[in-house]
Structure 1
Amino acid sequence: MKFKRLTAIGRVVGFLILFSGFPWSVKAVSADAQLLGSTQYIVSAEQNSASNICPAQLPEAIDAIVDRPEHRRQHWGILIETLSPSRHLYSRNAQQYFIPASNVKLFTTAAALLQLGSDFRIRTSVYGKDGILRLVGRGDPSLTDAQLRDLAQQLRRQGIRQIQRLIVQDGYFQGLTLHPTWEWEDVYSDYAAPVNSLILNQNVVELQLSPQKLGQPVKITWNDPFAAWQWQIENQTLTAASGVKNDFEVNGILGKPSLQIRGQIAIDSPPEVLSLPVRDPGEHFLQHFKLALLQEGITVTQSQVTTSTEKVNEPELAFVESPPLFQMIADTNQPSNNLYAEALLRTLGVNNSSSTNQNTATLGLNSIKNSLINLGVDGESFVLADGSGLSRRNLVSPASVVQTLQAISQSPQAEIYRNSLPVAGVSGTLRNRFRETPAIGIIYAKTGTLTGVVTLSGYVDAPKYQRLIFSIMVNHSNQPARIIRQSIDEIVLLLTQLSRCE
């Protein structure tokens, strides 16, 4: 299932969060995937001539971009190396810590690929006997209603028509479903959906706003009938005259199942669609599975969600599996999917622990660190707090990113890993960048965006030189992200012009 994200028209203006009696109004963070399609980041070919650049000229050319007056208050970290043999071409603050945003996914997906293998799949199983069925979720982020229907059909083919007691087990991942250091506003954003063992439809639901008669409140409908049970909506909207600009906001109150929707939509406007996270993903999963069973003629007498981690002794009656890991890491890196990254982090934790009572995310972080150290990455060069990059407590150096990219390029998984990354002007979060430039199709890189943070790291297949590895990180910026991207893209375009100059 794909979810339409908010565009500039009909935007989320802010979330009202009440804390200790004081109201706070904050603006939603722009995630990489939300920016896709809203702006094209194009560097003119006229600004970057096709003339060759010798490696010795590269430092001066990059410094001329970074040292512009508009960048004087920003913190830049850059490291550029040749792939094989490894040789430094440019370095600026390469050993210092930066908030990497979604560049963290480079670490998460590298560790998952190396430890779990490219063909690894996540299995969701139904066990049972004597009228008691137990569904065990294992955190498959790709699971949709179609897979639940598949499970129900498997049960029906075995002659099951009634279930006395249905248990959906949500204890495979231990710990919080939302990271405690994510910003408050993320709680109401689809890019920060809760991560649990029973993920369904990426734990996101859609809310549609449609105009009615002039002066009447906007009609608010859910695409998911069970979502209405989880959210209470205060509708403070109006249908405005034809031609009026759509302008509305969604406000939430932290810790309460309430949404305040305010603003206006023109009477002749098409519906606006919002994506919102599920509040209670375990119950959400249970209700959808019961519906899938009912559609197959299977009734359920009693049902419950449990976080039990007890070992299941009943026979397996039905199962579905995720796509292979090589596809899931592409589904993580290409659109910069935070939920997938966090699910992979916890999967690493489960697969590297003999205990069922430890925090799965913490175990996953330890697993990533050990995996990177084994690759040869300096263990002091990065500090990870989550698997997606939403946390501002993630700290990594450009050197640690380049070391990771360098090391995995020497592994048997090198091609799978590189192909999981967005491609300049072609795919993922880079499909609208580098258009009409020589960089199209020869840059494989991971983007990263938080307020005040813009990053880009990956590979460049310089046509007249050799494959390069780079990491560019900008922190402490009050400039619009598009301004920083413009300069980052100019630097990367310089790399496409490198020549051996022999």
Structure 2
Amino acid sequence: MSDSATAAPETPPAQSPSLQALSTEPAFLPGGRRRHRKSKPFGPGARRALVLAMAFPVASAALAGPSAFAADGSPLKATPDSAPDTAADTDPGDQQLITNLTKRIVDARLGNNVSGVVLDAKTDRPLWGHNASTALMPASNTKLATATAALTVLGPDHRFTTKVSYGNGTLTLIGGGDRLLTSADLDAMATDAVAGLKAAGLTTVKVRVDDSLFPEPTLANGWNDGYYPDSVAPVRALVVDGHGVTDTSIDAGQVFAGKLAAAGITVDGAVARAQASSTDVPVAQHQSPKLADTVHQMLKVSDNNTAETLLRMTALGAGHSATFEDGAAVVRGVLSDTYGISLDNVEIHDGSGLSRANRIPATTLAEILDRATESRYESVLGPIVDGLPVAGEAGGTLAPEWGRFDDPNSSCAVGKVRAKTGTLTGAIALSGLTKGTDGNWKIFSFVENGSTADANSIKDAMDGLAATVNGCWA
């Protein structure tokens, strides 16, 4: 699903080209001294240590941080916190980038509440910033944080399991947090279940769904009523074919019951919700694709529902309850404790970025991407870079059908920019990476809140900033 709260779902794309396809040089392996690192060497042991370290209780205060808004609700203003770099040894191309960004960030289309930052990935040198530490509503750029935590806690090879059990004349479909579960998967599970039923001489069953893995509430703080079920469904552990309905669990159970009926089993009564018994007999199960593939799709099309499911499964993987609050606390812990990313002014209330209470500075978003592009974290966080939409590539949120990178200033960057989009009413963001004129990878993040310009005009201005970082709009 698109990161716009009103846009229609997009078709999941085929596997995207790697960074190598965007360059004649090898895939992204930045080097250079990391001056600000607090993070430690990462491996399975570190992941286990992280999980063990996150003990209950998770206080609500863990989610809180200074708001970017004053008590009266008006946006707080900040002066640029990183002046243009005018050092004598600055690369001429970087100096032009600095000059151009300083001029273009005040584009009237972006409004008065805009922030941005650019890092040089090779040297880890902050090249330019404008209100970079001001916490703004990040929209779907929040998914970068969600993906980082999920891959770190669960691992890229993790799979989610959906099960069917039998007991007392009832088949129970048990949700396991697989947002990519399809009706074909349910058909295969029904086939296995029917074989067992018929072998036992049974031709009639009740059907129940167990989605107790995710407790209530199913809606996050900061979600508008108009968001669900189209932009995001109430979050449950069971869903089929990504159906945007209010009760995805009952819907999945009904699809499963239909498969049973088609195979000659009589379904007794309506599908209802009930927890499976510990004495039930397992009769079928299905495993999801690897988490790396799930993250790839989530970022490419900005799927809100997948993000919310991953937030809860990450909380479970860290030994917490599968709630919005605990999921957000685990995300904060991963960013800070594992990767040394600043949480100053950060507020997270969901996994998708639909919450209008979220606040993340551009500098934090850039730091997340910085870690994802480090060679030492490539085996864990590589799916984030690979999943970023490519400017002009069909199927992602930077595709031509979304009106991205299609104006005279930014069209030169088609195929040269990877970035995560973010779109809500009153908030547009773009964070990603591209090569500069010096051949080094640049990491950027731009976030605006409250512009009164047309959303497409704001996006054109954002795309122009990315093209400026690339250097093709000189």
The TM-score range, normalised by the shorter chain, is 0.7 to 0.9
Tell me the CA shift for residue 84 of structure 1.
2.2
**1:70-469, aligned counterparts within 5 Å?**
70-71=109-110, 73-129=111-167, 131-160=169-198, 161-187=202-228, 190-204=230-244, 278-301=245-268, 304-306=271-273, 308=275, 312-353=278-319, 358=321, 360-373=323-336, 374-410=338-374, 411=377, 412-427=379-394, 428-432=396-400, 433-435=404-406, 437-462=411-436, 464-469=438-443
Name the SS for the 1:142 alignment partner: coil
CA contact (8 A) 2:135 2:345 kept: yes
Tell me the CA shift for residue 114 of structure 1.
1.6
Q: Map Cα deviations across residues 252-295 of structure 1 (whole Å, 9 max, x no partner).
A: xxxxxxxxxxxxxxxxxxxxxxxxxx133332222221111101
2-structure distance, mates of 1:32, 1:387: 19
Tell me the CA shift for residue 70 of structure 1.
4.8
Tell me the CA shift for residue 159 of structure 1.
4.6
Tell me the CA shift for residue 303 of structure 1.
5.7
Which moves more between the two structures, 190-199 or 280-289?
Answer: 280-289
CA contact (8 A) 1:352 1:363 kept: no
Runs of 4 or more above 6 Å deviation? none
CA RMSD of aligned residues (A): 2.6
Which structure dedicates a bigger proportion of its chain to helix?
2
Aligned residue-pair number: 380
- TM-score using structure 1 length: 0.70
Tell me the CA shift for residue 408 of structure 1.
2.3
- What's the % identity of the aligned pairs? 29
2-structure distance, mates of 1:329, 1:142: 11
Name the SS for the 2:268 alignment partner: strand
Q: Give 1:57's match in structure 2, choosing from 71, 76, 96.
A: 96
Tell me the CA shift for residue 53 of structure 1.
5.8
1-structure distance, mates of 2:170, 2:277: 15
Structure number, greater radius of gyration: 1
CA contact (8 A) 2:349 2:358 kept: yes
Structure 2 portions without partners, runs of 5+: 13-90
Cα separation, partners in 2 of 1:199 and 1:89, compared to 1, 3 Å: same
Which moves more between the two structures, 340-349 or 484-493?
Answer: 484-493
1-structure distance, mates of 2:92, 2:391: 20
2-structure distance, mates of 1:139, 1:414: 21
CA contact (8 A) 1:330 1:420 kept: yes
2-structure distance, mates of 1:111, 1:64: 36
**1:460-479, aligned counterparts within 5 Å?**
460-462=434-436, 464-479=438-453
Tell me the CA shift for residue 116 of structure 1.
1.1
Which structure dedicates a bigger proportion of its chain to strand?
1
2-structure distance, mates of 1:459, 1:322: 30
1-structure distance, mates of 2:262, 2:369: 48
Tell me the CA shift for residue 33 of structure 1.
5.6
CA contact (8 A) 2:162 2:287 kept: yes
Which moves more between the two structures, 164-173 or 478-487?
Answer: 164-173
Q: Map Cα deviations across residues 50-107 of structure 1 (whole Å, 9 max, x no partner).
A: xx96212322211221224454x42111010011220011101111110000000111
Q: Give 2:105's match in structure 1, choosing from 66, 70, 79.
A: 66
Which moves more between the two structures, 106-115 or 407-416?
Answer: 407-416
Tell me the CA shift for residue 483 of structure 1.
1.2
CA contact (8 A) 1:54 1:498 kept: no
2-structure distance, mates of 1:326, 1:59: 35
Structure 1 portions without partners, runs of 5+: 6-27, 37-51, 205-277
Q: Map Cα deviations across residues 456-479 of structure 1 (whole Å, 9 max, x no partner).
A: 001113364201111000111111
Amino acid at match of 1:110: T
CA contact (8 A) 2:405 2:463 kept: yes
Name the SS for the 2:457 alignment partner: helix
Tell me the CA shift for residue 130 of structure 1.
5.4
Amino acid at match of 2:143: K
2-structure distance, mates of 1:80, 1:183: 32
